[in-house]
Amino acid sequence: MRVIVVCHTEYGRVKNREIIYEESRVEGVRKGVRNLVAIAKRHGAKITFAIMPEVVKYFPKNINDHEIGLHVHSGWVEKRYKSFRWFVGDKYLIEHCRVSVNSAFLNDLSFKDQLTLVETGRDYLQDAFGVEPKVFVAGRWSENNDTITALVKSKFTHDLSACPHTPRWSKLPRICMPYHPGVNDYQEKGDLPLLIVPISKFFPFGDVSPEAASYVGLSTLKACFVEYYRQKLPLFHIYLHSASMTDYWFCSMMDELLNFISKTNVQFSFASSVDDYGTVIPRTNLFPYLARPEATTIRFLSSVKRMKASITRETRVIETPRAYWGENH
């Protein structure tokens, strides 16, 4: 099994175990990246940093032996949560690209506008780091067929934006292995020269990220890994935000998760090394979740109920900054 860790690298800080994406909080990049690298080194993990162009100047120097990719948040849209206020978007792309629609969702833009953002971001990262990025993450998981066409045209090889069981990826099963998309439907298998690499999801519909530990506990993330590992699935995909690594508690969750995984027979890899593994038929296995040390059937079902309630609230009010549910990554 390959294990990839993808860090969505952007501004922000942590308040009460929630990420606040304030543009002024550059420690989300400066401190968060260095902390994650230190944790990865302890366990032999490799990190793929999907970097927003606007944060390049704050990305720490001499971060070697890790991979650089592109992370694009479109638009410039104000968001508010409690007493906090920030903007979703990328200042560098806003200043260097002319697009016809101001939307925080990339799939709202035309093919021409999406291609402009992708190529501008790619070229900037290549100039800054001396390597051409080959992996891509769309902000808010927001893609459509035009996005895929733009990525192919821009010579990206891997797209890490697939989040099963979300509105723009509703056709994908919870456990979904990498696949090449089709020309007419990016959620169907085809033969385009781009590999879509979905994130791993725990039962029934949560993202595998250390940020999720504040909602479901670290043991749920470990149980998800066991679910994948015992089936001998070829890939386990963890994602997180660099800002989460400014917080001691989130750092400890990431450290414990990687320590747990490193004791098994896995290979930590860069996202660009992931392959199409052909026909894989995953199965849902509840036993690892019910067998957690602190778990009981009643507690587990209560956890599911709380997650369903949270998703219902998320559907009604989509502006929440809770990174776990995946809308502000």
How many folded domains does the chain comprise? 1
**What are the φ and ψ backbone dihedral angles of 7, each rounded to 5 degrees?**
-105, 115
137 pLDDT higher than 60: yes
Q: What is the pLDDT of residue 82?
A: 85
What local confidence, expressed as pLDDT, does residue 135 receive?
A: 98
User: What SS3 class is residue 80?
Assistant: strand
Specify the CATH number for the domain of residue 43: 3.20.20.370
Give residue-wise pLDDT tens across range 94-131: 999 999 999 999 999 999 999 999 999 999 999 999 99
Q: What b/e string do you get for 234-245 counting C-beta neighbours within 10 Å, with b at 16 or more?
A: bbbbbbbbbbbb
Residues 197-217 have a mean pLDDT of 96
Q: Which pLDDT does position 81 carry in this prediction?
A: 84
Q: Is 62 left (phi over 0), alpha (psi -120 to 50) or beta?
A: left
Sign of torsion over alpha carbons 257, 262, 265, 268: positive
| Overall average pLDDT of the 201-220 stretch | 95
Contact 203, 212 (CB under 8 A): no
Euclidean distance between CA atoms 237 and 231, whole angstroms: 15
35-90 tens-digit pLDDT: 999 999 999 999 999 999 999 999 999 888 899 999 999 999 999 888 889 999 99
What percent of the residues of the chain are helix, what percent strand, and what percent coil, each to the nearest 5? 40, 20, 40
Domain that holds residue 31: 2-325
Percentage of residues of the chain with pLDDT beyond 70: 89
Tell me the average pLDDT of the chain. 91
User: What pLDDT does residue 308 have?
Assistant: 53
Band the pLDDT of 226: cuts 50, 70, 90: very high
Structural contact between residues 19 and 277, judged by C-beta atoms closer than 8 angstroms: no
pLDDT in tens, 162-191: 999 999 999 999 999 999 999 999 999 999
Burial class (CB in 10 A: 0-12, 13-18, 19+), 100: exposed
Is 238 strand, coil or helix? strand
Say which residue the tokens 């090889």 belong to.
157
Helix (H, G, I), strand (E, B) or coil at 158: strand
Q: What values do phi and psi take at 117, rounded to 5?
A: -65, -45
What pLDDT shows up at residue 293? 66
Q: What's the pLDDT band for 245 if we cut at 50, 70, 90?
A: very high
